[in-house]
Structure 1
């Protein structure tokens, strides 16, 4: 067995893990990040980068690198409901310069962050390292064990971070219990070509029988069909023609390109869940991101809340970890402080997501507007939606309690 020693071991190379690894390394902390896959390429990972995350990227001095990666800025978030286009959210009311969300494949974002982290000698990223469990000594977590292509690996650490997603091995190994909130939908994830005729960027298409999310990427649309939870097998049984019909029902303008979807081999199931740990930490170990709180895809906040966790963790931990003689109790106090800081913002956003799921229902369809809209619906669109736009822009763009990097986490 190979044994490594580090100050902090982070399990999971997603947005929370790589961002925290970068921040700790910039703060002079020795850190190892373990990612079980050989690369970052996973098509079902979230793409939405919000103003809160763009502000962090600006603080890190990485904006030029970020802008060099192909991405699709959206200054408004539009929905088409029963053929009626609704300009639901306008980020123009937010402070400059980041008055938009942008859609960037998550693997590109992670490659950029990992590249920046590798420029620091205290950072190591080990790909293909599948963590099997944590190591406990005297009631304290002191590292993890993993399997790699070179055999068994033991990483000893003063602090172990579980950033390994909603199926977290670290969370399970620590025996941490999550409160689960029922979500009535799943998402069937696929891609189709962009239509030949230009199509305005639209995130949500809804009809009384189907709902579809479309994420613009260079040359194609990454799509998510909302379906009732547990219904994927029955939808597959109907056949690909029936699935294409669901796409056309939600977004008639995509009916032509939907024919390019050859079979269900090109459709992946994303199980949607919302949960939150009662306690995020044990002595010597902490969970952040989806490992601490699985978020719904609603509003695309998952990446951004993971990044906010990472920034808050770095702000609290770097001053402690930079003292080699800091007692374990001091580290644990920082872990407790992290949960106290991030638990309420997470709970508030999850509450809003659950309200939105109550409106969406089981994902079988959505009937909010007539076409043409009734007089009452026109009044709502003219008065209520413009009033709500800046509030929604603030909540979606920043979430609750957005974090900024403190000086100790910068060069």
Structure 2
């Protein structure tokens, strides 16, 4: 079976959904292929940053988003010398919603999918996995897929790879990424905790161990940081030893940690930081993690992927409507988004080297007294990391053609 569309999008994550919605609101014919039958997967990024919240408002989706269950992370603090120190404070930002919303990603994706499906030029194909690229000579002209009714072909003027760090499209197109060394991995898990009323990020440190505790409604979502390649050894030690490590760092959740029953509940993330040298080839564009895998530090990967999608839609909508997409148009997306990507990855790599590495090596995590004195005297400094995490470099706004008033999501 062979079909045609103007723009084929591979992957129904935040980048793919936002790009599909925006292009459809411009009137571009879009078909999005998502290999799963739903979006229900644990430990996908659940952070919705202030710039993404602003985007939802510009798209007329804020009221629907606000109806979802979510918690607000307004600060990041750590305990030292018997007191709590705020090192990141979103409330100091001059933004209408100065916080990170912690919402299950499947709820956000369902909201975006519903809004996109209200547009007559948008088609969402669930349970449809892109299995290869279609070519006409050197040009990519669509994708091969496996769907509920068997294999098929979708021909497209432009194919956009939003299929993540293990991108099939990127690999098949021969686009090469530069990998940066990362010496740690992350293990995600949940602990029930009914008293999580203060929604701030809580890093916890011990000799050779580090956790980041994200309070959610009714539970803690926890990132355990450990040396890269330690997954097998961690699992061999078993869940009881793992639970003791967690309880030592999060004593207020010690009872819940003791109730951990299986290492199957602890999900391993192989942390990667890489970036494509070239984000496109003739007929194909990569954005989001398919173009640049980010470290989980700061939870900024989703925000950058969404910003990529907004920039791509803004730049490509007109040439797609004219059916005259060129290499120059595709290269313009990379030019627009390269600086934010490079700056963010550079900061993350510095933090890996200066903070995460020494902590996992057993270094005392207590900040120098001089630094604590500066933070006490100049509390506004907590705005700087908040801006980097919550807003970032070169934040994007919804293009005029995609904007809607409150409550009007279909135009």
Normalised-by-shorter TM-score class? over 0.9
CA contact (8 A) 2:203 2:213 kept: yes
More moved, 194-203 vs 51-60: 194-203
| Shift >6 Å, 4+ stretches | none
Q: Relative to 1, partners in 2 of residues 1:299 and 1:119: Cα closer, same or farther, differing over 3 Å?
A: same
Matches within 5 A, 1:276-295: 276-295=275-294
Q: How many residues were matched structurally?
A: 402
In structure 2, the residue matched to 1:343 is 338
Of the structure 1 ranges 79-88 and 292-301, higher mean CA displacement relative to structure 2 is found in: 79-88
Map residues 219-230 of structure 1 onto 2, 5 A cutoff.
219-230=218-229
**Structure 1 residues 200, 321: CA separation in 2 closer, same or farther (over 3 Å shift)?**
closer
1:216 CA displacement = 2.8
Distance 1:92 1:136, change over 3 A: same
Query: Which residue pairs with 1:398 in the alignment?
Result: 391
Change (3 A) 1:81 1:355: farther
Q: Equivalent residue of 2:55, what SS? A: helix
1:192 Cα offset (Å):
1.0
What is the CA–CA distance in structure 2 between the aligned matches of 1:387 and 1:284, rounded to whole Å?
47
Structure 1 unaligned residues grouped into runs of 5+: none
- Cα 1:120–1:177 shift into 2, 3 Å: same
Task: Tell me how far 1:197 sits from its aligned partner.
Answer: 7.8
Could you tell me how far 1:214 is from its partner in structure 2?
2.2
Which aligned pairs between 1:380-391 and structure 2 lie closer than 5 A? 380-383=374-377, 386-391=379-384
TM-score with structure 1 setting the length: 0.93
What aligned pairs does 1:163-178 form with structure 2 within 5 A after superposition?
A: 163-178=162-177
Residue 251 of structure 1 is matched in structure 2 by: 250
| Pair 1:110-2:106 in alignment | no
Change beyond 3 A, Cα 1:362–1:15: farther
Cα distance in structure 1, aligned partners of 2:96 and 2:187: 35
Return the alpha-carbon distance in structure 1 between the equivalents of residues 197 and 395 of structure 2.
36
Q: Structure 1 residues 247, 336: closer, same or farther in 2, change over 3 A? A: same
TM-superposed CA distance for 1:380, in Å, is: 3.6
Gaps of 5+ in 2: 404-410
Distance 1:252 1:380, change over 3 A: farther
Distance in 2 (CA, whole Å) between partners of 1:91 and 1:123 is 36
The Cα of 1:36 is off from its aligned counterpart by: 1.0
Partners of 1:71 and 1:376 in 2: how far apart?
A: 37
2:134 maps to which residue?
135
Secondary structure of the residue that 1:40 maps to in structure 2? coil
- Contact 1:213–1:224 (8 Å) recurs in 2: yes
In 2, Cα distance between equivalents of 1:381 and 1:367: 19
TM-score scaled to structure 2, two decimals?
A: 0.93
TM-fit CA distance, 1:230: 0.5
1:408 and 2:401 correspond:
yes
Report the secondary structure of 2:393's partner residue.
Answer: coil
CA distance in 2, matches of 1:391, 1:96: 14
Contact map agreement 2:88 2:382 (CA 8 A) in 1: yes
CA contact (8 A) 1:141 1:284 kept: yes
